[in-house]
Structure 1
Amino acid sequence: MESQEEAPRRRRGGWRVLVAAVAGCAVLGGVLVLVPWGPGGSRAPEPAPGAQALAAVTTGVAAALPDLAVLIDEREAHLRTHPKDAGAWAVLGAAYVEQGRRTSDPANFPKAEKALRTSLRVREKNAEALDGMAALANARRDFRAARNWSEAALKVDRGRWTTYPQLIDAHTGLGDYKAAKRALDRLLELRSGPAVRAWAAGVYRDRGWREDAAAALSDAAAAAEAPAERAAYLERGGQLAWERGDLEVALRHFQEAVRLDPDQRAALAGQGRALASLGRTTEALNAYRAAFAKQPDPRYALELGELYESLGLGQAARVQYDLLRERAARGAAGGVDEELVLGRFEADHGDAESAVRRLRAEWRRQPGIAVADALGWALHRSGKDKEALKFARRATDRAKGGGVRSALYSYHLGMIERGLEMPGAARRHLREALRINPRFSPTRVPLAEEALEELGEPSLEDVPDMDAKPRGR
């Protein structure tokens, strides 16, 4: 049980449909709709697109892609005649980071780095540019560099609240969840508002406080003014709902996010994920294809390939896996660390030994929970179950940061325990995976169900013993 000092502790009763019960929104027929704000149903005039994007990138929230393009054009035009404007270079770099993140186009990241380093040359003690470098490092999954850049920014300005979200992401990627919580506590002391609530939600989710995470995201989405920002919080709320198996709720959140911001491709991929889990396969395929066409993230290619595989469409799956490799290579050329997704892919669909090599190196660089889970599974797939168990347990051990309620992590742990002839533990964790989300994967759910059938019901002697020594490989 969490101590009072660790807890947020703002318990809410059950999952709330995001934004539905707050001012400015209504629910009609189960669909979220926005209603006018302010006296007489009027709203203040919205700022110009460039100004909207400027407000977004300088506070670390999602910006609409057309607005980002306007901001980039404005800053580039300004810098042609004012090349010593360090602040403008920092904004340009941050805008390129956001554009690269939103489009999964790694070509934006070298441009971002050039602009940010120019800003630092013009003015060395420059917290804005240091913040931008931290955001760039996080986008590239270089969490050690992100931590270093964040700490450098805080040396310049200890009260700079926008640095703490970057530090939270960096600590999380490095597996230092206590440090991430400390950074969040400091952020909450400095600032309030929708962006801060959304960052808090991420920390709560990682600690297993799913109701707190859902409530924080609901508040963030209700308070966000820009459609792109609100859509980003709805997408994250949809992902939370999907993780706990609330598939219809997840689908509504994803659909509303796309309605608010048609460029919210993560929500479109989320629709594919939810639709596939609901058995609406044709719609799921269309959603995934549309998401990948506009935001060719290797993770989407992996999910779409596995969906094809579950349908017996091996050739179509192989096309997606080839696209995954291609996009990962392009990401690496832009400085993005794609070893985690490549390791996951190789473990299940390629060379398991290659996956182990990749993920061992990744673990040395940044030992987060996602890497622990992936490395444990790769070791299992390569026949090293005893070592695999150590990593799979770490990924699910709350004392070591593994508080995430993940059906996939529980499935991996259960299958590894099955290979080690630990039937009681295997049965418990496989059932847990299906309780967390009964439709968490089109390829893995049938395997979990088959394994449970083979394991059968527990005998009187089959008493759970977490300290039992594994047998087998």
Structure 2
Amino acid sequence: MKRALSFVAAIAIAVAMFVAGSLGPFSPDRTEASRRAAPAALDSLSPAGGARTLDATIAALQARLTDGPKDPVSLGQLGLAYLQKGRITSDPSYFPKASTLFERSLQADAQNLDSMVGSGLLANAQHRFLQGFRWGQRASRVAPYDSDALGVQVDSLIELGRYANAATTLQRMVDQKPDLASYSRAAYLRELNGDVAGAIAAMSLALDATTQTGDDAGWVRVQLGDLYFGSGRLDRAAHFYGTANRVAPDLSLADIGMARLAAARGDLDGAIAIMAPVVERYPTPQNVSFLGDLHAAAGDTDAARRQYELVDVQRRLFAAGGVRPDVELTIFYADHQERPEATVRLAREQY
């Protein structure tokens, strides 16, 4: 059960954030809880921070597996790295690759913890939450005190709507390892229950648990900015988005926060100028949809239409990678009067 703990924890937080990317509009009265869900998205987090480091990690693991024995630890770690690569590039073709590596790892060592946690993260990322929960339980049976395994279960339970069970499991996670991963999940669960002040308090504890610079430090500040933004405290939101940009200049979530803030203050052109390069780097459905909404609000219906068409392209790509449509996509179609028959079908499937 040998593990590279910091590597697994970093990937676990980042991929968990991918689970629920919001496709909603930018208006402040619409909660951003789903974008942060279970703890949706460190845009450049990797084992040591940064996409280039992740690429180097992938190359090193590939070389190790090519030149040496196919050990289950390296297979599991490469699977986790592929899972993270798929998240930050919005390329779902990495998901089947990760799945194959996890399967091979577990065939060689049925108790490989990295691969069990990774399989749970993958299932959650594909919106197969019951399957993700079962993987988390399996990992916990092998390592009862592993916080990453508990985190997979918490994420699954939240997405399944089993909030009381999620809270119980989360308390175990906090008791075992009070850190960024557990505190940020606590903040999200409190927000789901309408306790914004409690969510801010929990996320402040997460901030205390991070380093002063880097993606973790930037991400927590973005979450605090989002919480203040959602409660209408725009000046506090601006403070945290700004400090996030300073401590993690490459973190796109900070730019997204600043774009939302500019839009809320009526500066649509400024918001578009911020979001356009973000979408070029990270064309996720939520980013593309947000840019489309900004163009629509500015009166440029043609530009908005082009972005909305890209959302459907992304939907097909993710479906090819085994990702099930989520509620946010259904809401996007309903809000934008897109694909009415498919919207009804998706809503029925989800409920």
Which runs of structure 2 are paired with 1:1-150 in the superposition (5 Å)? 54=7, 56-57=9-10, 60=13, 62-63=45-46, 64=49, 65-150=51-136
Provide the C-alpha distance between the structure 2 equivalents of 1:58 and 1:344, rounded to a whole number of angstroms: 28
8 Å contact kept, 1:58–1:91: no
1:347 and 2:300 aligned: no
Offset, 1:90: 1.3
Q: Encode CA deviations 1:256-292: one digit per residue, 9 max, x unaligned.
A: 3233334322332222212111112122002221221
Say if 1:118 and 1:57 are closer, same or farther in 2 by CA, change over 3 A: farther
Give the 3-state SS of the residue equivalent to 2:324 in structure 1. coil
Say if 1:107 and 1:250 are closer, same or farther in 2 by CA, change over 3 A: farther
Offset, 1:86: 1.0
Letter in 1 for 2:314: R
Provide the C-alpha distance between the structure 1 equivalents of 2:209 and 2:285, rounded to a whole number of angstroms: 32
1:357 and 2:310 aligned: no
Offset, 1:362: 1.6
1:208 and 2:194 aligned: yes
1:152 and 2:105 aligned: no
* Aligned match of 2:230: 243
TM-score (structure 1 length as normaliser):
0.62
Q: Encode CA deviations 1:311-344: one digit per residue, 9 max, x unaligned.
A: 2211111111111111111111112223433312
Q: Encode CA deviations 1:336-388: one digit per residue, 9 max, x unaligned.
A: 2234333122212224343121111022xxxxxxxxxxxxxxxxxxxxxxxxx
Answer with 351-360 or 284-293: which moved more. 351-360
Q: What RMSD over aligned residues (CA atoms) do the two structures have, in Å?
A: 2.1
1:161 and 2:114 aligned: no
Provide the C-alpha distance between the structure 2 equivalents of 1:249 and 1:232, rounded to a whole number of angstroms: 16
**Structure number having the greater helix percentage:** 2
TM-score (structure 2 length as normaliser):
0.83
Say if 1:60 and 1:300 are closer, same or farther in 2 by CA, change over 3 A: closer
* Aligned match of 1:299: 286
Answer with 82-91 or 275-284: which moved more. 82-91
Specify which of 309, 327, 330 is matched with residue 296 of structure 2: 309
* Aligned match of 1:218: 204
Provide the C-alpha distance between the structure 2 equivalents of 1:170 and 1:55, rounded to a whole number of angstroms: 18
Answer with 141-150 or 347-356: which moved more. 347-356
Provide the C-alpha distance between the structure 1 equivalents of 2:250 and 2:280, rounded to a whole number of angstroms: 11
Give the 3-state SS of the residue equivalent to 1:162 in structure 2. helix
1:328 and 2:281 aligned: no
Provide the C-alpha distance between the structure 2 equivalents of 1:52 and 1:259, rounded to a whole number of angstroms: 27
Say if 1:124 and 1:183 are closer, same or farther in 2 by CA, change over 3 A: same
Offset, 1:53: 7.0
Structure 2 portions without partners, runs of 5+: 15-44
Offset, 1:54: 2.7
Identity %: 30
Say if 1:272 and 1:53 are closer, same or farther in 2 by CA, change over 3 A: farther
Q: Encode CA deviations 1:128-162: one digit per residue, 9 max, x unaligned.
A: 21101111122222212211111111122222111
Say if 1:131 and 1:211 are closer, same or farther in 2 by CA, change over 3 A: same
Structure 1 portions without partners, runs of 5+: 1-50, 364-473
8 Å contact kept, 1:325–1:342: no
Say if 1:263 and 1:100 are closer, same or farther in 2 by CA, change over 3 A: farther
Give the 3-state SS of the residue equivalent to 2:147 in structure 1. coil
1:189 and 2:142 aligned: no
